[in-house]
A and B are shown apart, each in its own frame.
Chain A
Amino acid sequence: MPAMHNTTEQHEIEHLRQEHLMLDPRPRGEMNSMVMDAMLTTSWKFWVVFAVLSVVVAICLFYTWGYLIAEGTGVAGLTNPVYWGIFLVNTVFWIGISHAGTFVSALLRVFKAEYRRPFTRAAELMTTFGLAQAALSVFMHMGRVWLSYWLFPYPNERALWPNFHSPLSWDFLAINTYLLGSTMYLFMPLIPDLAMARDRSTGWRKTFYRILSLGFRGTEGEWTHLRAAMNIFAFAILPVMFSVHTIVSWDFAAAMRPGWNSTIFGPYFVVGALHSGIAAVAMVLVVIRSTVKNMKYFLRAEHFGALGMLMLIVSMGWAYFFFNDYMVQWYGGNKFTDALLHFHEKGPTDWMWFAMLILNVAIPWLTLWSKKIRSSPWALFFIGLGINIGMWFERFIIIPTSLAINFMPFTWRTYKPGVEIPLSIGTLAFFVLLYMAASRLVPLVPVWEVQEGQLAHTLRKVGKETIVSVAEME
C-alpha cells in the first residue's frame, strides 16, 4: 500500500510540475540558452512575413500618409458634422491595447500574482508599440503634422498658447507621461536580461547589449536600486494608466453632444481599454508560443487560463458599464439622444452595434467560464480576436457613428472613410512589424524574474494533499 501511495503522490507532483512553470525549474544557464535561442533562431518564414509587413507598412502607412499630408485631410472621409473619424477610433483603440501591458505587469506585480512572471515583458512591449501607433494616429488626424509643436507650451510672438482647460491638452500630457513612463518601465527589468544577453553574445549584438545593459553586473546595490525603482513604478504607473484613458474619455464626455456627455465615460473607457488590451495580450502570447522557439516551456495552459479568467471578469465589467451608460441615456428621454440610440441600433452601422455585443459579451460569457476552453491557446486567440474587433466597433460607434447625430438635424450626415482604411491597416502592420523586430533583439521572457519565482515556489504536503506553497521573497 505505501508503494501505491508513493506512486499516486509522484503522479500528483509530476502533474503539478507540468501544469505550473514555477514548479518546473531548470538551471538558469539552460533557461538563458532557451531565451537566447528563441531570439537568435529565425526561420525563413519569419523573414517572409517581415518582408510582406514591411511592404504593407511602406505603402499603407508611409506612402498613404505622405499622400494625406500632400493633399490635405480632404482625402480622408472627415466632414461636418463627423470631423473625428477612424484616426481617433484608432487612437482610442491603440491606447486601449497599450493599457493591458501595464495592467498585466504592474497590477499583477502589486498583487504578487505569480503567473505574471514569464509574460510581463511581452505585455510591456505591447504597451510601448501600441502607444506609438496611437501617437501616429493623432498626428495623422492633425493633418498639418509639421505644426504639431504648437501643442507645446512656449511663449511665442503669435501669442499661441495651449489651453490647459481643454481635455485635448490633458491628453497631450497624459499620453506623453504614459508613453515615457511605460517605456521606462519596460526598460528597467530588461537591464539584467540585456546583461545576460551581453554575456552570451558576440559581434554587433555584444556591442548592442553592452551599451544597453549600461554596465550592469548584479551587485547588491544595483539590485536594491532596481527593485526600489520597480516597486515605485508598479504603484505609480497604475493611476497614470487609469488617468490616460479617463482623460481620453473626457475628450468626448466634456463635449455637449448627445451620447457623449456622460459622467460614466471615464470608468467605461478604462474597462473597455482593459477588455481589448488583455485580449490582445492573450493573442500575442498565443502567437509567441506557437511561433517562437522554446516558448512552450515558458507559456503554459495555466497562463492562458488565468488570462481567460481576467478576460471574462473584464467582459462582465464592460457589460455593466455599457448597460449603465445605455440605460441612463435611454431613460433620459432627450429626443436627440433617442435619435442617436435608434441610429446605433437601426442605422447603417447597426450590424456593428450587434456584433459589438456578441463579440464583447455573448461569446466571452458563453465560452470563458469553461476552464478547458480558456486554457486552450487557440480558442483564447479567437475569442481575443473577437473582443478586439468588437472593441474597435465600439470606438467606431462612439466616434464617427455618434457624431452623425447632433442637435442640428439639418447637418446630419454619415461618415464614409477614405485614406483612413489603408492607414489603419498600416498602423496594424507597423505594430506587428515592430513587435517582430523587438522579438529578435530583446529577450521576450524576463529570465531573472522567472528564476526568482521558481526559487519562491515549493510543494508542501498538507494532510494527504500536495499543495503549492509560495514564499515571500521580495
Chain B
Amino acid sequence: MTDSRSYLAIFADIDPASYALDRLRELGLSDEQMNVISGIPVTEAMLGRPRQWTNVPRLALGGAVGGFLLGAFLAFVAPVMYPIHVGGQGILPGAPSVVVLFELTMLGMLAATFLGIFLDSRYPSYTPKEYVPEISDGRIAILFECPAEKENKFIEAMQAIGAESVKPAEAQKL
C-alpha cells in the first residue's frame, strides 16, 4: 500500500488555481483527491471541476411535502376531531384551508432547506480541519492528497504554476 500525504497549496487568484487543478490531474490525481477551499463561491465551471452534488433541493421538497401533510392534518383532520362552527361555514371550508396548507407547506420547505445545509455540510463540526485563515482573506486553497514518494514533484508543480505556498495540510482547530 502506497503512503499518501495531504498538502494545501495557496493561490492568490482563481486563474492559477484552475491551472493547478489541471496540472494535478496530469500528475495522476483524480478529482476526488482534490478539494478547493475559497472565501467566495467559485463555480465548478470556473475551476473545471465536476458538478458538486447537493441534497438541499430534495430535502426542501421533502420538507414541503411534510409541511403540506401537517397542514392537511390541521385543516382537514383536526376540525373533524374538534369541531367549531363558525359563521355558517362548513366544518371543512375550502378557502381558509388553503391558507393553513400554504403556510405549513412553506414552513416545512424553509425549515428543511435550512436543515439541509446542516445535514449536507455536516454542521456543526468543531473538529480540527485542514484550513488556513488566509482563505477568508481571499486566497484560494487546493487541498490535495498525493503519493508520499512523489510529493516533491507535486510541490514543484504547484510552485511553478504560482502557488504562494505549498505546505503539509495539518488539521487545526478553527
A residues apposed to B, CB below 8 Å: 27-29, 32, 153, 155, 159, 161, 163-166, 169-170, 173-174, 176-177, 180-181, 184, 187-188, 192, 195-196, 198-200, 210-211, 213-229, 232-233, 236-237, 239-240, 243, 247, 448, 451-452, 455, 473-474
Contacts and interface: CB of A to CB of B under 8 A. Distances in A.
Given A164-B75, A184-B110, 5 more contacts: A164-B78, A199-B136, A218-B38, A233-B110, A236-B113
A170 B135 contact: no
Interface residues of B, number: 60
A224 B86 CA distance: 48
Contacts of B19: none
A199 B113 CA distance: 27
A124 B53 CA distance: 29
B78 A161 contact: yes
A99 to B, nearest CB: 16
Nearest to B99: A170
Contact of A217 (B84, B117, B174): B174
Interface string B114-156: 1011101101111101010101111000000000000000000
Interface stretch (B22-30, B100-108, B157-165): B100-108
Contacts of A174: 99, 103
A236 B136 contact: no
B117 A225 contact: yes
A235 to B, nearest CB: 10
A247 B44 CA distance: 42
Given A165-B96, A225-B117, A228-B57, A217 B131 contact: yes
Given A177-B110, A229-B56, A455 B40 contact: yes
Nearest to A28: B138
B40 A448 contact: yes
B106 A452 contact: no
B136 A196 contact: yes
A229 B126 contact: no
16 contacts: A29-B138, A155-B81, A164-B79, A165-B79, A173-B99, A176-B107, A181-B110, A215-B124, A220-B49, A224-B54, A228-B56, A228-B57, A232-B56, A243-B99, A247-B99, A474-B43
B129 A215 contact: yes
B33 interface: no
Contacts of B54: 221, 224-225, 228
Interface SS of chain A? helix
A159 B84 CA distance: 10
Contacts of A243: 99, 102-103, 106
A220 B135 contact: no
B167 to A, nearest CB: 16
Contacts of A473: 43
Interface string B32-62: 0001111111111000010011101100100
B114 A177 contact: no
Contacts of A221: 35, 52, 54, 120-121
Q: Which 6 pairs, one residue from A and one from B, show the smallest C-beta to C-beta distance?
A: A28-B138, A215-B125, A199-B133, A29-B137, A224-B52, A161-B82
Nearest to B120: A225
A247 B132 CA distance: 49
A449 to B, nearest CB: 8
Contact of B74 (A153, A177, A211): A153
B24 to A, nearest CB: 14
B110 A164 contact: no
Contact of A223 (B41, B93, B111, B174): B41
Contact of B135 (A164, A217, A225, A236): A217
B89 interface: yes
B20 interface: no
Given A192-B39, A196-B39, A239-B106, A218 B93 contact: no
Q: Which of A153, A223, A474 has the most chain B CB within a 10 Å cutoff? A: A223
A252 to B, nearest CB: 15
Contacts of A219: 35-37
Contacts of B104: 173, 177
Contacts of B35: 219-221
